[in-house]
Amino acid sequence: MKIHIDEDKCVGGGQCVLAAPEVFDQRDDDGIVILLQDSPPSDLDAQVHEAALLCPALAIAVEG
Amino acid sequence: MTLDQVVVVGVSAAGLTAAETLRREGHGGRLVLVDGDPRPPYDRPPLSKQLLRGDWAEDKLALRPSSALEALDAEWRLGVPADHLDLGARHVRLADGAEVAFDGLVIATGVRARRLPFVSGSPGAHVLRTVEDALALRRELVPGAAVVVVGAGFLGTEAAAVAAQIGCHVTVIDPLDLPLQRQLGRRIGGRVAQLHRDHGVTLLCGRGVADVREKDGRTVGVVLDDGAEIVADVLLVAIGAEPVTDWLRGSGLLLDDGVQCDEFCQAAPGVVAAGDVASWLHPALGRLRLEHRMNATEQGMAAAKTLLGQRTPFAPVPYFWSDQYDVRIQVYGRPTADDFAAVEGSLDEGPFAAVQHDADGRVTAVAGWNMPRQLRALRQALVDQQPVSC
């Protein structure tokens, strides 16, 4: 699995961090997403897909 | 539950998410997607922000790449609105007369902008709900233009901020004392008022609009309830929205501020509703209808699962945000017009995180002003029904 994020679209809602805290974090100042790992292990697949589905700004794309 | 044919009416965020969820959860039958809008599904929050400001081109609003839409293996009926539901015969009639049979139906027709009866729609007068609305408004937001925004809710204040940033002379009119007062209380409302004044916006609060002035078929001004007249090259009416349920009249579904659903988002056997149009029974918060982007996704998923027999009460933590100038306001929960109390920072200046609570001190809503990380932590207090110290 490979994750792409679009910082320009991100609205700092933090839903991704709630869904997959081992993969996503937020910058302190503006809350924009930080990708902690762009190819996480497969046991996190479900969480990452959930994060991408829930993102209200469609800022997360998942390949594979 | 096996469904042969599911029809989704309204293919914006909620309807599209429902369609995707149906496929992901194993619906292998026919899937018909109906929408009066001829465009492929697009996202709405940027309409009053990035698109209006001209930062984004229209194609960036696409909810999905075309490959993902094709992968749904659906029959698309775009540009033809549904105009009648026959629950007994189990079909939806479209405006072109076609009858589309279903054994599962997702209602996601959203809302339309509320209008003022005396505003005719002459050039210069706008509402903001669709991409066409946003593009038409954007064309007229030029430096120096006199822009009058009626309504100081989220849409009105966001659009006012964009217009002020472009260099328009902006006036916002609202019958309440402060912007966003109904949504976030007087203290945050006062802060929002100051933010707009700092950017040169004139706020006429506690005032109503009684009429519009037109000249040569074009909007040129508004008349306030005290008789005062204000010049307007551009008029934006942002006084809320109403659920699109006309097509459901006489269907037997209960309509009262949206489609009335149970806690599973079900309106009738085999019929569910999601997104702005859906009024459902939240297990903890009571009857709700949310016009929030986040809710469209979450409820689209929940409604689709209900249709497939995976019935779980839909109990989200409501979330929305608003971008104005360099400020991002984020809110979890169900805020009232009561005042928030700061937990971090000050409501009067700089970033803050604040809460509303019930009589027992339990958090019922949290709001942040440029404090996204702290807000996420406070959300947990809301979920856990914990008291926090202010």
Kindly provide the ipTM of the predicted complex, given to two decimals: 0.92
Q: Has residue B49 got a pLDDT over 70?
A: yes
- A contacts of B376 (beta carbons < 8 Å): 14, 17-18, 26
- B contacts of A53 (beta carbons < 8 Å): 17, 297, 301
Q: Are B330 and A13 inside 8 Å of each other by CB?
A: yes
Tokens (6 digits) for B77: 């009926």
Chain segment B170-215, per-residue pLDDT in tens: 999 999 999 999 999 999 999 999 999 999 999 999 999 999 999 9
Q: Are B330 and A12 inside 8 Å of each other by CB?
A: yes
B97-100 long-range Cβ contacts below 8 angstroms, 24+ apart: B100/B7, B100/B32, B100/B34
Identify the pLDDT of residue B121.
79
Tokens (6 digits) for B357: 């609570």
pLDDT band at B1 (very low <50, low <70, confident <90, very high): low
State what percent of residues in chain B have pLDDT above 90: 93
Contact B288, B262 (CB under 8 A): no
The sheet with strand B209-215 has its strands ordered as B209-215, B218-224, B229-231
Q: How many CB pairs under 8 A join A and B?
A: 50
> Is the Cβ of B294 closer than 8 Å to some Cβ of chain A?
yes
- Name which of B153, B145, B161, B155 is nearest B234 in CA terms: B145
The whole-angstrom separation of Cα B8 and Cα A23 is 33
pLDDT band at B120 (very low <50, low <70, confident <90, very high): confident
Contact B140, B124 (CB under 8 A): yes
Chain segment B62-95, per-residue pLDDT in tens: 999 999 999 999 999 999 999 999 999 999 999 9
Is residue B185 classed as helix, strand or coil in its secondary structure? helix
Contact B301, B314 (CB under 8 A): no
Phi, psi at residue B60, to the nearest 5°?
A: -75, -10
Tokens (6 digits) for B194: 């100051």
- Residue B115: Cβ-neighbour burial (10 angstroms; 0-12, 13-18, 19+): middle
Contact B117, B108 (CB under 8 A): no
Contact B292, B274 (CB under 8 A): no
For the ranges B136-150, B165-179, B221-235, B349-363, which has the lowest average pLDDT?
B349-363
Q: Are B319 and A15 inside 8 Å of each other by CB?
A: yes
Residues of A with CB under 8 A from a CB of B: 9, 11-15, 17-18, 26, 28, 30-31, 53-54, 56-58
- A contacts of B297 (beta carbons < 8 Å): 53-54, 56
Compare CB distances from B297 to A12, A31, A53 and report the shortest one's residue.
A53
Identify the pLDDT of residue B194.
98
Over range B227-247, report the average pLDDT.
97
Compare CB distances from B293 to A12, A31, A56 and report the shortest one's residue.
A56
| Residue of A18, A24, A25, A32 for testing the chain B interface, max B β-carbons within 10 Å | A18
Give residue B104's identity as a one-letter amino acid code: G
Q: Are A13 and B17 inside 8 Å of each other by CB?
A: no
Identify the pLDDT of residue B390.
66
This prediction has a pTM of 0.96
> Is the Cβ of B48 closer than 8 Å to some Cβ of chain A?
no
Residue of B nearest to A58 (CA): B63
Chain segment B285-336, per-residue pLDDT in tens: 999 999 999 999 999 999 999 999 999 999 999 999 999 999 999 999 999 9
Contact A51, A19 (CB under 8 A): yes
pLDDT tens string, chain A, 64 residues long: the values are 899 999 999 999 999 999 999 999 999 889 999 999 999 999 999 999 999 999 999 999 998 7
The whole-angstrom separation of Cα B105 and Cα B381 is 37
Chain segment A36-51, per-residue pLDDT in tens: 999 999 999 999 999 9
Chain segment B335-357, per-residue pLDDT in tens: 999 999 999 999 999 999 999 98
Identify the pLDDT of residue B386.
72
- B contacts of A54 (beta carbons < 8 Å): 294, 297-298
Is residue B379 classed as helix, strand or coil in its secondary structure? helix
Using alpha carbons only, give the angle B59, B62, B64 rounded to the nearest 5 degrees.
Answer: 135
Is residue B385 classed as helix, strand or coil in its secondary structure? coil
Chain segment B358-377, per-residue pLDDT in tens: 888 889 999 999 999 899 88
Identify the pLDDT of residue A31.
92
Residue showing tokens 């569910």: B272
The whole-angstrom separation of Cα B295 and Cα B288 is 11
- A contacts of B323 (beta carbons < 8 Å): 11
Phi, psi at residue B133, to the nearest 5°?
A: -55, -45
**Crossing angle, helix A45-54 and helix B293-307, to 10 degrees?**
120
Q: Are B321 and A30 inside 8 Å of each other by CB?
A: no
- A contacts of B293 (beta carbons < 8 Å): 56
| Residue of B376, B380, B382 for testing the chain A interface, max A β-carbons within 10 Å | B376
Q: Which residue has the higher pLDDT, B381 or B176?
A: B176
The whole-angstrom separation of Cα B121 and Cα B359 is 47
Using alpha carbons only, give the angle B362, B368, B373 rounded to the nearest 5 degrees.
Answer: 95
> Domains along chain B?
5-112+241-307 (3.50.50.60), 115-237 (3.50.50.60), 326-384 (3.30.390.30)
Q: Are B43 and A58 inside 8 Å of each other by CB?
A: yes
Compare CB distances from B373 to A11, A31, A56 and report the shortest one's residue.
A31
Give Rg (Cα) of chain A.
10
- Name which of B68, B117, B105, B57 is nearest B306 in CA terms: B105
Chain segment B153-173, per-residue pLDDT in tens: 999 999 999 999 999 999 999
Going by C-beta distance under 8 Å and a sequence separation of 6 or more, which residues neighbour residue B330?
Answer: A12, A13, A31, B319, B320, B321, B367, B368, B371, B372, B375
In sequence order, what are the beta bridge partners of B239?
none
Tokens (6 digits) for B389: 């110290």
Give residue B234's identity as a one-letter amino acid code: V
Q: What is the rounded average pLDDT for all residues in chain B? A: 96
- Residue B355: Cβ-neighbour burial (10 angstroms; 0-12, 13-18, 19+): buried
Q: Has residue B385 got a pLDDT over 90?
A: no
Q: Quote the minimal CA–CA distance from B221 to chain A in Å.
A: 35
Q: Quote the minimal CA–CA distance from B98 to chain A in Å.
A: 33
